[in-house]
Amino acid sequence: MGIEKAGRRLLLGWLLALALCGAALAWEEPPELVPGGSLVGIRVEAEGVVVAAVSDAAAGLRPGDVITALDGQPVHCIEDFKAALAAWAGESVSLRYSREGAERELSLAPTENETGAPELGLWLRDGLAGLGTLSFTQPETGLFGALGHAVNDVDSGVLLPLREGSVAPAALSGAVAGSAGRPGELLGSFDLTESAGSIEKNTEKGVFGRLESGSPLAEGEALPALARAELREGPAVIRCNVDGTVREYAVRIDRLFPERSDGRDLMLTVTDPNLLALTGGIVQGMSGSPILQDGRLAGAVTHVLVNDPARGYGISIETMLEAMDN
């Protein structure tokens, strides 16, 4: 009996070793990517209009619902919604909308405002623009990834369904340092008319698209990517622009979360005294800052811990690449 148990333990040990070996060899030849770090302006136009807030007159709708048609007329943006509502005639209008991936329909009775125009008591949004950080570029294709998380509606937290979007170089004007309970942010500006590339996907694991040929955002030395199974706790660096120049700052990967599927693959702490002095740690606008470990591209910064701005979460580069390719 003891020999059988020992044999089973030995077999399980070999199987575990083989599994770990297979995981570590996820890429026979790791992809070569150019780490980012540049501050960029990100513009996302939603497919449909997102309900940001509702009045009592719009009972049945709630923030985060995405309206896609009004009285049978497709709604791609707020102007489409206004045009369809202006053509209303009758007692009610029919709205088609999506909620958590499910299509729904609802009838509402418009009221007239002081000018006699119909209204439904809805506050709507069809796009967002803000600052983020470029994570990587594929040198052969110009494909890029940024943020490491989705562009969400600021009020409802719902992922904005993408109609179109773009990225543009951004000029940093300053930084507000974070403190416990008060996230900091990078301040800057960008020209929405000077696109450096198009956004083709808005996902929970980042925004992805293609840079224009010759874009300076794609410049830099390509490095091999680090597979998720090869990440380890210990020293690393992040690359970002918090003082007008893209620089590398020391961090420590404190913990890995191989079982999670929400993009929070690791927890890190900023240890670089210069970055701590400038920003207090991780601030808004640094999302997407590439993480490098052992000279390889390991992932990107995604979130800050509100009560401890020196600490935050990151996503592995393998997770981002899977989201880009799916």
The verdict on whether 149 is a catalytic residue reads yes
C-alpha pair distances (Å), 252 with each of 79, 204, 241:
48, 24, 19
User: 161 exposed, middle or buried (CB, 10 Å; 0-12, 13-18, 19+)?
Assistant: middle
The verdict on whether 272 is a catalytic residue reads yes
Indicate which residue of 65, 80, 265, 272 is catalytic.
Answer: 272
The verdict on whether 303 is a catalytic residue reads no
User: 302 exposed, middle or buried (CB, 10 Å; 0-12, 13-18, 19+)?
Assistant: buried
Is-contact 199 166, C-beta < 8 A?
yes
Indicate which residue of 135, 287, 289, 316 is catalytic.
Answer: 287
C-alpha pair distances (Å), 324 with each of 24, 168, 195, 205, 206:
21, 20, 20, 8, 8
Q: Which residues contact 252 (CB under 8 A, 6 or more apart)?
A: 233, 234, 235, 236, 268, 269, 271
Indicate which residue of 149, 195, 303, 316 is catalytic.
Answer: 149
Catalytic residue set = 149, 272, 287
